[in-house]
C-alpha cells in the first residue's frame, strides 16, 4: 500500500529525528491508528494510557478513582518529559493531554502534534461499548460529548501541527492522509 512506501520515504528522507504525537478527543481513533501504522510500517509505537497503567500497576479508571484526575494529569506530564530522550516514536496520547500547556510544550520539543478529529455522533458510536474511560461513565450521550469537545477544541487546535478528520473513513485512508501531510512538512 502506498502509505507504507510513503512512511519509508519519510523515515529515509528525514532520518526520522522526531516523535509524532497523536492527540484528539476520546474515540477519535488514536490508538487504532498507531497500532495500524506500527503493523504496516514497523514504526515504534507508544500508547500513553497503557504505559501509565504499566508504570502504576493500575488501570486508568482505578487511578482516577483512587488518586484523582489531577494526579493522573501529572503522570501524563511526567511521561511526556521522559519521552524527551526518545525519537522515532509514534505516541498515542490520552485525550486530555492537551489540557495542560506544559504538555503541549513538551510534545513540541521533540516532535509534531497530529490532531485526529471526529463528530460527537461518531465518537459516541466508537466509545459506547467501552467502560474504560472514567470521564464518559454515565455520560455516553451526544450532548455531553459535544459539550466537552467544544470546551477542549481551542486547546486541540492550538496544539495541532496537522489535522486529520476520521469520520466515516477507513484506517488505510486516514493513514494515507497522515503520511501525505507529514511528507509535506519535511
Ligand atoms: C481521557 C482520555 C483517555 C484517558 C483518560 C482521560 C480524557 O484516553 O487518558 O480516560 O481526558 O480525554 P483516550 O483518549 O485514549 O480514550
* pLDDT number for residue 184: 86
Percent of the chain with pLDDT over 90: 80
7-47 tens-digit pLDDT: 666 666 655 557 999 999 999 999 999 999 999 888 899 99
40-53 tens-digit pLDDT: 888 899 999 999 99
**Substitution site in 25, 94, 138, 156 for ligand 1 pocket (most atoms within 8 Å of beta carbon):** 94
Q: What is the pTM of this model?
A: 0.94
The pLDDT of 85-92, averaged and rounded, is 90
Alpha carbon of 15 to ligand 1 centroid (Å):
31
H or E segment to which residue 90 belongs: strand 89-92
* pLDDT number for residue 7: 64
How far apart are alpha carbons 26 and 136 in whole angstroms? 9
The SS3 of residue 69 is: helix
* pLDDT number for residue 18: 79
Amino acid at each position: 500500500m502506498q502509505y507504507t512506501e510513503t512512511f519509508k520515504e519519510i523515515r529515509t528522507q528525514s532520518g526520522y529525528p522526531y516523535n509524532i504525537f497523536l492527540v484528539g478527543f476520546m474515540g477519535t481513533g488514536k490508538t487504532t491508528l498507531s497500532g495500524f501504522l506500527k503493523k504496516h510500517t514497523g514504526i515504534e509505537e507508544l500508547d500513553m494510557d497503557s504505559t501509565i497503567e504499566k508504570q502504576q500497576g493500575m488501570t486508568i479508571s482505578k487511578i482516577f478513582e483512587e488518586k484523582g484526575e489531577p494526579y493522573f494529569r501529572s503522570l501524563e506530564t511526567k511521561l511526556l518529559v521522559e519521552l524527551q530522550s526518545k525519537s522515532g516514536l509514534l505516541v498515542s496520547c490520552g485525550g486530555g493531554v492537551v489540557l495542560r500547556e506544559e504538555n503541549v510544550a513538551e510534545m513540541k520539543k521533540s516532535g509534531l502534534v497530529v490532531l485526529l478529529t471526529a463528530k460527537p455522533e461518531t465518537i459516541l458510536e466508537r466509545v459506547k461499548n467501552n467502560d474504560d474511560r472514567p470521564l464518559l461513565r454515565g455520560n455516553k450521550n451526544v450532548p455531553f460529548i459535544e459539550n466537552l469537545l467544544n470546551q477542549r477544541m481551542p486547546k486541540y487546535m492550538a496544539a495541532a501541527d496537522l489535522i486529520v478528520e476520521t469520520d466515516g473513513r477507513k484506517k488505510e485512508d486516514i493513514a494515507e492522509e497522515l503520511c501525505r501531510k507529514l511528507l509535506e512538512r519535511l
